[in-house]
Structure 1
């Protein structure tokens, strides 16, 4: 059995070291691409979209990512159709981030697949890990929210502004807080109102 590379360990959710030559080179490439993307003028939308189409792992035909945008690798980000993110969208995509169709991301949202060991000796030895994140269809993530490693958010759910999501959130709910918890289910009555006070 051959030894796994650090990249293979990273993508398999195993402990890995991020500062080897291969991963460093890929992160530096991503920084260059993202720098170019963020430096374009506001009217240069098609140039921005062309950059993302050649950079991200998958995307639908219709998408809009407001600059500035940040990520680690790019190729681990898989976007569905009709995706929108507001300013300062940050994705530490050391593992796969799968986002469904019709997803709205508020400003200053951070998605972190990457984490560090609990024990300090493992952290000092430069170990880290990365777990995939899945966001379902028609999800809205409110501004300032943080999505932590390994989390799945079910279809049609809303994550309230400023939430820290540390555990899975089911479909069709409003969830808020730190740590993020289900507030209530979304019902047919919600078609009659536009606003929910948390």
Structure 2
């Protein structure tokens, strides 16, 4: 197996080969174009991402800057929004569902390295996929580690470090991230502590 095949299979590999290096360089060139482009050129920016990423929905928006390793391992669904400074190390597949919102300074890391120093210095690494369900909201400064799955409708609080799977329909936060509570009917009434929605307000 080549290093790329081992990387995509979740097996230990060394990432210094020409093929993977060239692919990372290609992503850097395309992202430099994207991140440096006139912010009003939304269609041109989205065209770059459609060509770089593995899959996108028809409606998506990335606030620059956005960084990733390869791009082709990233799939985002419909109505996806990423705020400033999203970083995705996509050595393994990153699957993101529909209606997902990501706050500023979020990092998704599929890449990992051996704990043993000699193996790490020798260049060995591995990658495990990350899966984020539909209608998920990821709070700012969150880090999601290799191999994590986050279920539908879940909210991850700001500053979390997600090291294990998080189920659907919960609020989770902390380092390490853990479930705080289930999402319920009260969340249709209150948008913040003691603050109620006015459902009769006119939509602008």
**TM > 0.5:** yes
- 4+ long deviations beyond 6 Å: none
Of 35, 39, 44, the match for 2:41: 44
Which residue of structure 2 aligns with residue 61 of structure 1? Answer: 58
Distance 1:25 1:43 in 2: 30
Which residue of structure 1 aligns with residue 131 of structure 2? Answer: 134
Of 76, 79, 83, the match for 2:80: 83
What is the DSSP-based 3-state SS (H/G/I as helix, E as strand, rest coil) of the residue aligned with 1:29? helix
Deviation at 1:195, TM superposition (A): 2.0
Structure 2 residue 102 is matched with structure 1 residue 105 = yes
* 196 and 103 in structure 1: CA distance in 2 versus 1, 3 angstrom threshold: farther
Map 1:144-183 → 2, pairs under 5 A: 144-183=141-180
Which residue of structure 2 aligns with residue 5 of structure 1? Answer: 2
What is the DSSP-based 3-state SS (H/G/I as helix, E as strand, rest coil) of the residue aligned with 2:186? helix
Query: CA offsets per residue over residues 54-78 of structure 1, 9 Å max, x none?
Result: 1100010000000000000000000
How many residue pairs are counted as aligned between the two chains?
194
TM-score by length of 2: 0.94
TM-score by length of 1: 0.97
Structure with larger Rg: 2
Distance 2:193 2:58 in 1: 31
What is the DSSP-based 3-state SS (H/G/I as helix, E as strand, rest coil) of the residue aligned with 1:54? helix
Structure 2 residue 16 is matched with structure 1 residue 16 = no
* 60 and 141 in structure 1: CA distance in 2 versus 1, 3 angstrom threshold: same
Deviation at 1:196, TM superposition (A): 5.5
